[in-house]
Structure 1
């Protein structure tokens, strides 16, 4: 589906879509953090990152047995460090690509962002019920806002 198949009243001017720009900046920040983490895995090796991850778990009272934290805890070891770096690098590049597309108001970027944020919603709800707290709440609300803004953008393009 191209951007040409949109409602005649849909404004393709990027300045008319501040919501998309906010999400683009947010996604670019996530991408940048992932690229930095991938570099850190390769440059520093697993030991300092393991220490930092344990400090993060303790400070925010995260559950080391579930979700991304559990995956990171297992992946940051001498054997899996290159695999973990490659996965984090791929995630970072995908987020940067999505951010670029959203900044340029591309339909494919809205689809990518909407689907990828929606995939996390059941996990966010699960996390909130099992580990209630401000962090779980913020993550859920942010992902709901991202899905709502991008779904609205896609609906405006089609109708």
Structure 2
């Protein structure tokens, strides 16, 4: 399930990247350029981006998506390195999420943080359990 979730995050970033790359064209085609305050903000932001900025966004999105797809593949195939990658990539967000909750309570911030803590905790418990089994197996191999 976590592998599918990680793959889905990669797909979402790819789709967002495609949407960002075509945002101005899509907004113009749908007549959204002046339809709302928020849409006009996005149009203005994208008008200010130069080619270098767009390429940086493309590279960042590509790297992020590749990491998510590699992680999903490794988790699906039950690879040890992918479990560590998932633990690290999930845990790295926790301090920032906790700070955001401390800055201002919102139920969705708590839900996202709790979900992330559950995933990291679950993966960490699996990893530690596997390491304990390996350690016991190694010790018992030397004791007839």
Q: State TM-score, norm by structure 1.
A: 0.65
In the alignment, which residue of structure 2 is the partner of 1:134?
A: 107
8 Å CA contact 1:46–1:78 kept in 2: the answer is: no
Once residues 92 and 69 of structure 2 are traced to their aligned partners in structure 1, the CA distance between those partners, rounded to angstroms, is: 18
8 Å CA contact 1:39–1:85 kept in 2: the answer is: no
Aligned to 1:114, what secondary structure does the other structure show? helix
Query: What is the root-mean-square deviation in Å for CA atoms of aligned residues?
Result: 2.5
1:7-56: per-residue Cα shift (whole Å, max 9, x none)? xxxxxxxxxxxxxxx111111111100111122233335985xx89x46x
Q: State TM-score, norm by structure 2.
A: 0.71
Offset of 1:128 from its aligned partner?
0.9
Length, aligned pairs only: 117
Larger Rg: 2
Aligned to 2:92, what secondary structure does the other structure show? helix
> What residue ranges of structure 2 are gaps of 5+ in the alignment?
28-32, 40-44, 133-144
Once residues 87 and 98 of structure 1 are traced to their aligned partners in structure 2, the CA distance between those partners, rounded to angstroms, is: 16
Out of 49, 65, 81, which is 1:92 matched to? Answer: 65
Pairing 1:115–2:88 present: yes
> What residue ranges of structure 1 are gaps of 5+ in the alignment?
1-21, 56-73
1:92-114: per-residue Cα shift (whole Å, max 9, x none)? 11101101111111111110010
Structure with bigger RCO (C-alpha 8 Å, 6+ apart): 1
Compared with structure 1, are the counterparts of its residues 140 and 47 closer, same or farther at alpha carbon in structure 2 (3 Å cutoff)?
same
Once residues 153 and 81 of structure 1 are traced to their aligned partners in structure 2, the CA distance between those partners, rounded to angstroms, is: 40
Out of 50, 54, 63, which is 1:81 matched to? Answer: 54
Once residues 132 and 116 of structure 1 are traced to their aligned partners in structure 2, the CA distance between those partners, rounded to angstroms, is: 24
Structure 1 segments, 4+ long, off by >3 Å, are 43-48, 74-77
In the alignment, which residue of structure 2 is the partner of 1:42?
A: 21
Out of 26, 46, 59, which is 2:5 matched to? Answer: 26
